Structure 1
């Protein structure tokens, strides 16, 4: 059925392409060599102001063009910013109005493509119980009232000495620098969070901790406060040396008074240069914890679109002693979303998700993890139903051996972990499962791996055998010629079902298995240049569209038009050759509905 409609589909697509040639160039300007900005985010600051921030890595840009529209209007340019200025404050807006924005880079050769669209709605006229406070490091005055740009405060000490309330805003002037700690106190309320952000146009305001080792050892601290949103800050914490400076952090959120903390958002911050060239799990970028002897937890925690790089220790992590899966009376974090962050290089793991139930961890870019010690790019611990999806991990390499250096790890003390729709490449290992109990019902499905250097799968210590049956299905693995990769290089796979996976080795007969599996089942897998295993095996070329062309730094805003080289072609022996699986998540890597006929083998269900 799938192959029989191919000619009709091609004729139809050809007709569409001819018609599309008449579309106006002004609707979709042709991009130059410049890459488009990504991760554009719009945040309403008041009834008349919206702050924008975005990410752009090209060095040959002159600046950025900001465009805006409302309702059914067409986009119109409203401003430009200079090279390196990836933030803009749009003021003088109407209250209770939704505005849409897009941004593109430009230089003397022309314009880039557009960023993603982002929208925000200005609030109604500020109520009496919410004030905006302005802080200006150059022209401020702590004896002023702080409630206008002209009467801005000057120092962090003034902010630290103030308890804020529902609807308040703490706005730091763009391009200014403060040295010291920002210690936030107070709580907002439902619908009236306290917002930390910037005002003006230019670079993010910078807060330098200087390697501080007091007040919880962090440059920015929020302690026992609910309903806060911390946006658009640049944060460092180092004394300038490469040595270990203690258990220090860039940004910490802490609850230690036995309460439930609602609505904590950390968005669009740039955190870098924390500590020296060190590892360890007691230092790093963003750390959200529930401490103290009385049970406490967070509800509605979002860590979004942050850039965390060049930090000793961890990039982003959560932790709590109150959520062990070994006890019935547990207090996990709820409604956790860690999305759109770029993390790395880091001294230890890029990201650790602990003590959270039903957490969504997606669209993150995890780069060069654990440059000063071992550690997988991301793992979870003391979680239930943690979903790690649509992430990219690469560059986690180190000495050959048994060190943890995989992209994605389903660690123990967890239940129902799902690692799905991810892209691992150029790590030592692709995907890991810890065999120690408790590790129940691990699922690894519809992922893509490319050129992971030593092994595709990495299991826990050889003596551990406490994990329940794991399921690994519909993953596509490509290994270029000459790497010498084994599927299971150093650790014995255990108690796992392998269904519908593609093991594609480019070099003739170069595929190696490594360790002999223990109590594992292989059904309906495709093997190319590696000996087959199990029943219903498919051999021969899987006919992938363009294997080995995945590249790096995937822009998930282009989804599903990403990694399309790993789709299967018409005529592939993998079509309809898989095993139907119940509870399969309902979609393939690119969002296609499962199944179209019988199951296909690999991450693509051909339509």
Structure 2
């Protein structure tokens, strides 16, 4: 094994190489049958033996190789390939198949536009790790495209996938389907139940992609075919300029969506989109994320807890400047076939600032919802709906708003849907057919029209917001160097801002999974 490192590393960076070396030393480099394969698009030849001194040229040569547990694939910095990388062989827990970069210079880049549906694909394989690459998939709009596709079909339980430190951009997929875009993990089991266990998507830049930024797909989400993926972690990713949804797992139990940044979702796709949301999940934990500048008002919220889901927790997040608002909790009418409804959503200790249209929307037959300890800032030029109930095959019931702060420099309204004007809701006072929408101990600062009954609430009509620093750190995805350091700064800013707004230090929550007594059966 040989990695070329010195103090002048650029593009790939010392950190990426160090992580790769640690991975190799810790997870199977000593395997007796493991091999190292080197690929250099500039200096290699496919007739070579693939060694460090005689590398291969093409990714096709790798795709045709029978990889074994513990094998390492080193892609040379500064190389560009116009062909996909496809992994179809599995590693082992103690000896994963590892793909990474080596050398000095720009990240090795895969340009799949016009030649393949995906730039990198892991197909029916487990214990595979891919990191340190640049991937694009641009071209005339023609259908589904992916930056990275992790696909399992009729293969049972697939474990140990890692997609990290990737720079994925300019993936021009179709905006007519949700199941394509930057990074997609898809578990389909028409013949054999299939799911992922222990799949991590971390520290990636996903920029200018259609339709989804990071998405999970599953066809085993009905009551009769419930086989959710477990150990799903989506963390420390930047997702920016997305045609449709930013981050949206489906068919998971105990997923952790933590400290991601999603900006400018809903930029091109028709229909309903949101920045960060989940559906057909149990016990999703969504925390420490920033969702901002979602462009559509068809939904268009920073966060959404969607249907066929139970016990979703949305905590310690920052939502701002989203055209559709802060939080949507929604579900159509329950069905014994494919929708258990939306039950037990908790939205606690989040901060919303300058979100448009609707701060809180309760759509359809959601129940057992707790919205507690959030701080909502409405700007002086804004006139929005603070809490509205809307119809989707029925109405909400049993929703509690407790100990929230509604700090309004403009105007807010409360009510229920009586009509539509495109993406906007026409409302009347009260929550109409929605039942048991209760308010307790909230603070109403500024101008509130038709506020709810709240016996322990505090009304303060005269309100002027104090001067506060809201300069959240930003990052230019066109210049990917320094991303890891930026994410550290961003998380620090988030923790300080949340502590200031909530009046107490913040501590991350731990994800949970469904117990046997809670299982869908």
Sort the TM-score into its range (normalised by shorter chain). Answer: 0.7 to 0.9
Equivalence for 1:23 = none
Select the residue among 409, 415, 422 that pairs with 2:304. Answer: 409
1:557 equivalent in structure 2: 488
Structure 1 pair 565/176, CA: closer, same or farther in 2 (3 Å)? Answer: closer
Q: CA RMSD in A?
A: 3.0
The 1-side partners of 2:295 and 2:389 are apart by 15
Query: Cα offset for 1:249?
Result: 1.3
Specify which of 191, 213, 221 is matched with residue 323 of structure 1: 221
Among 426, 432, 435, which residue is 2:331 paired with? 435
Please state which structure has a larger fraction of its residues in strand. Answer: 2
Deviation of residue 204 (structure 1)?
Answer: 1.1
Q: Among 296, 311, 336, which residue is 2:194 paired with?
A: 296
Instruction: Give the match for residue 444 of structure 1.
Output: 347
Give, in angstroms, the shift of residue 435 of structure 1.
3.4
Which residue of 2 is the match for residue 426 of structure 1?
321
Query: 1:119: how far off?
Result: 7.9
1:29 corresponding residue in structure 2: none
- Label 1:566 to 1:143 Cα distance change in 2 as closer, same or farther (>3 A): closer
The question of 1:390 aligning with 2:288 is answered: yes
Moved more, 553-562 or 288-297: 553-562
Distance 1:592 1:311 in 2: 30
Alignment of 1:229-378 (within 5 A): 229-239=129-139, 241=140, 244-275=141-172, 278-293=175-190, 294-324=192-222, 326-327=223-224, 330-373=226-269, 374-378=272-276
Q: CA deviation at 1:484?
A: 1.3
| Cα distance in 2 for residues equivalent to 1:371 and 1:356 | 26
Provide, for residues 550-575 of structure 1, a one-character-per-residue CA deviation record: whole Å limited to 9, x for no partner.
Answer: 53549663445536456569xxxx98
Moved more, 125-134 or 354-363: 125-134
Q: Give the drift of 1:455.
A: 1.8
- Post-superposition shift, 1:211? 3.1
Deviation (angstroms), 1:168: 0.4
Q: How does 1:441-480 map to 2 (within 5 A)?
A: 441-460=344-363, 464-465=364-365, 467-480=366-379
Shift of 1:177: 0.2
Structure 2 residue aligned with 1:220, among 102, 106, 120?
120
Give, in whole Å, the separation in 1 of the partners of 2:132 and 2:109.
Answer: 10
With over 3 angstroms needed to count, the CA separation of the structure-2 counterparts of 1:550 and 1:446, relative to structure 1, is farther
2:381 corresponds to:
482
CA contact (8 A) 1:140 1:151 kept: yes
Q: Which of 590, 593, 602 is the matching residue for 2:506?
A: 590
Residue in 2 that maps onto 1:87:
13
Unaligned segments of structure 2, at least 5 residues: 335-340, 417-429, 476-485, 510-521
TM-score by length of 1: 0.70
Evaluate the alpha carbon distance shift between residue 469 and residue 589 of structure 1 in structure 2; reply closer, same or farther with a 3 A threshold.
Answer: farther
CA contact (8 A) 1:370 1:376 kept: yes
2:459 aligns to what? Answer: 539
Structure 1 residues 85-107: Cα deviation after superposition (integer angstroms, max 9, x where no partner): 2523898xxxxxxx799xxxxxx
Q: Which runs of 5+ in 1 are unaligned?
A: 1-45, 52-77, 92-98, 102-117, 576-587, 594-607
Q: Summarize deviations over 1:33-86 as a string: whole Å, max 9, x none.
A: xxxxxxxxxxxxx6x7598xxxxxxxxxxxxxxxxxxxxxxxxxx61345xx25
Match of 2:439 among 522, 526, 539: 522
Aligned to 2:37: 133
User: SS at the partner of 2:61?
Assistant: helix
Answer 1 or 2: higher relative contact order, Cα 8 Å, separation at least 6: 2
Task: Give how far 1:187 is off.
Answer: 1.1
Question: Which residue number corresponds to residue 164 of structure 1?
Answer: 67
**Number of residue pairs the alignment of both structures matches:** 462
Compared CA separation, residues 590 and 284, structure 1 to 2 (3 A) = same
SS in 2 for 1:88: helix
**TM-superposed deviation, 1:591:** 2.8
Instruction: Tell me the SS of whatever aligns to 2:60.
Output: helix
Residue 420 (structure 2) aligns with: none
CA contact (8 A) 1:289 1:319 kept: yes
Which residue is 1:18 aligned to? none
